[in-house]
């Protein structure tokens, strides 16, 4: 009986070790989308009055957890009974990621004219402000759902040849990181300026270390968000290109002598542009009509 218990413990230890190793591999493969998820949510959770930033972020995080609860069982069932569907969804998601990356580059090169003043800065009633918040939260949760599908499927693709229990453990770990880790960092980012202001108000001196550190944090917030957006855009195209290169035979053998990172970025960019062009044409036709 003791030998059986030790054998069970040994099996559990081996399983946990396997899960830890595969989780590291899956985390590396999903890092690009996690970076974009971080950038997107940092942008969507900012722009509110200080006391509303964390409640908005908490609402988005709860929606993200619900997304994972819906996505995980569906993906595991597809993996068990219809694995080809996982690849199809992965490629379709890759098209979306490539399109989103190309669209961000397009908007950077040809920015649209924005209203001179943000709607959140207008003199609105409390009911109107809450309505705007709900709209922004809904948009963030929808984007999170799409990114979550890709994160889960990419994580799953790294353990498709493993037992189902290993698949569930690894993908669940990545899904948890994608929620708690990402939104925890987002919470720190959106509060950078508030923490900076508190440092500035610590004393009346204007040249103290706390003042300098506080001003640095306040000034760094928009720069950090812009940097995250830039890195997230590059990551989107790299992830999309990697999906196509590893799951579509034509792209797999294309530019074989090129460095993988260059090849995948170019594939993601070209496919993204090809998807973006008809979308822009449709938008223009719809706008004219």
Mean pLDDT of the residues in the chain: 77
Q: What is the pLDDT of residues 179-188, one digit of tens each?
A: 888 888 877 7
Q: What is the mean pLDDT of residues 37-56?
A: 67
* Ranges of H-type helices in the chain: 2-45, 50-81, 83-109, 126-157, 164-176, 182-190, 192-200, 209-247, 249-252, 260-288
Whether 116 shows a pLDDT value over 90: the answer reads no
Q: How far is CA 12 from CA 15, 35, 68, 254, in A?
A: 5, 32, 25, 43
Helices (H) and strands (E) in the chain, counts: 10, 0
81: exposed, middle or buried (Cβ count in 10 Å: 0-12, 13-18, 19+): exposed
Q: Which residues contact 195 (CB under 8 A, 6 or more apart)?
A: 214, 217
Q: What is the mean pLDDT of residues 71-82?
A: 86
Whether 158 shows a pLDDT value over 80: the answer reads no
Q: What is the pLDDT of residues 120-154, one digit of tens each?
A: 444 566 676 677 778 878 877 887 887 788 788 88
Comparing CA positions, the residue from 3, 115, 138, 14 lying closest to residue 66 is 138
Vertex 43 angle, CA 42 and 46, to 5°: 85
Q: How far is CA 225 from CA 100, 150, 189, 221, in A?
A: 17, 22, 8, 6
Comparing CA positions, the residue from 46, 274, 246, 41 lying closest to residue 153 is 246
Q: How far is CA 71 from CA 28, 146, 148, 151, in A?
A: 21, 10, 8, 10
pLDDT of residue 277: 94
pLDDT-wise least confident of 38-42, 277-281, 284-288: 38-42
Task: Give 120's DSSP letter.
Answer: G
Q: How far is CA 47 from CA 62, 130, 213, in A?
A: 20, 14, 22
Q: What is the pLDDT of residues 239-257, one digit of tens each?
A: 888 889 888 888 888 888 8
Q: CA-to-CA distance for 129 and 272, rounded, in angstroms?
A: 35
Whether 225 shows a pLDDT value over 90: the answer reads no
Comparing CA positions, the residue from 162, 227, 177, 211 lying closest to residue 29 is 177
Whether 9 shows a pLDDT value over 60: the answer reads no
Spatial contact of 261 and 88, defined as CB atoms under 8 Å apart: no
Vertex 164 angle, CA 182 and 153, to 5°: 40
């Amino acid at each position: 009986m003791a030998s059986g218990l030790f054998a069970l413990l040994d099996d559990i230890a081996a399983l946990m070790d396997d899960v830890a190793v595969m989780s590291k591999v899956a985390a590396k493969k999903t890092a690009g989308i996690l970076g974009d998820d971080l950038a997107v949510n940092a942008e969507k959770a900012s722009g509110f009055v200080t006391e509303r930033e964390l409640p908005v972020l908490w609402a988005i995080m709860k929606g993200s957890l619900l997304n994972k609860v819906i996505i995980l069982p569906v993906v595991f069932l597809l993996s068990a009974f219809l694995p080809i569907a996982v690849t199809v969804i992965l490629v379709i998601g890759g098209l979306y990621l490539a399109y989103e990356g190309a669209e961000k580059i397009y908007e950077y090169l040809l920015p649209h004219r924005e209203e001179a003043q943000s709607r959140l800065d207008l003199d609105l009633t409390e009911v109107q402000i809450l309505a705007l918040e709900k709209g922004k939260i809904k948009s963030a949760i929808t984007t999170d759902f799409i990114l979550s599908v890709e994160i889960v499927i990419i994580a799953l693709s790294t353990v498709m040849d493993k037992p189902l229990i290993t698949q569930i453990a690894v993908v669940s770990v990545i899904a948890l990181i994608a929620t708690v880790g990402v939104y925890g960092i987002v919470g720190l980012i959106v509060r950078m300026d508030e923490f900076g202001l508190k440092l500035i108000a610590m004393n009346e001196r204007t040249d103290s270390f706390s003042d300098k550190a506080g001003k640095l944090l306040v000034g760094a917030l928009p720069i950090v968000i812009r940097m995250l957006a830039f890195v997230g855009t590059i990551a989107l195209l790299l992830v999309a290109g990697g999906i196509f290169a590893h799951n579509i035979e034509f792209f797999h053998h294309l530019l074989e002598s090129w460095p993988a990172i260059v090849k995948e970025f170019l594939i993601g960019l070209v496919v993204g542009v090809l998807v973006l062009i008809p979308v822009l044409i449709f938008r223009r036709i719809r706008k004219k009509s």
